[in-house]
Structure 1
């Protein structure tokens, strides 16, 4: 596996653990539908939440939310629609972006953008 893929998977693990620590429940991860993938699917306070995880080793090139473009959002929404249909979800949903940042000391920090798009 390429190094950037390994970093991405590690960031998804860290993000899932961080969200669980915030009271979220992990329902699924790396859900695929056609050409789309949803990194994390969480449940929290009656909401089904689709989370796009972005890893950055710093903010010199911008923040995570800047790297989720229109096409990526459309793919995530299509995959989410299919997931909702598969599990027959009848309640509200939300789309979040969670940035995982590694600082100079090797510590991980998180920026959670709730209701980032739709």
Structure 2
């Protein structure tokens, strides 16, 4: 696996653990539909939350939310629509972005953008 894939997987694992610690109930990881993938799916206070995880080794090139462009959002929504239909979900949903940041000392920080798009 390429190094960026390893870092992405690690970031997803860290985000999963972090969100679980904040009261989110983990449902599924890496849900795929066609060419689309949802990194993490949680339930939180009766809402189904689709989470896109972005890893950054600093903010010199921008924050995580800046790297989820229109095309990526469209693919995530497409996969989410399929998931909702497949699971027969009839309650509210939300799309979040979680930025996982590792500083030069190796410390990890998180930044969550709730209801980031639709």
TM-score (norm 1): 0.99
Q: Secondary structure at the match of 2:83?
A: helix
The two structures, once aligned, show a CA RMSD in angstroms of 0.4
- Tell me how many residue pairs correspond in the alignment: 118
Q: Does residue 1:34 correspond to 2:40, yes or no?
A: no
2:96: which partner in 1?
96
CA distance in 2, matches of 1:113, 1:36: 20
How far is 1:84 from its partner?
0.4
Query: Where in structure 1 do 4 or more consecutive aligned residues deviate above 6 Å?
Result: none
TM-score in terms of structure 2 length: 0.99
State the match for 1:76 in structure 2.
Answer: 76
Superposition deviation, residue 105 in structure 1: 1.3
Unpaired stretches in structure 1, ≥5 consecutive residues = none
1:102 Cα deviation after fit:
0.1
Q: Deviations over 1:38-57 (max 9, x none)?
A: 00001000000000000000
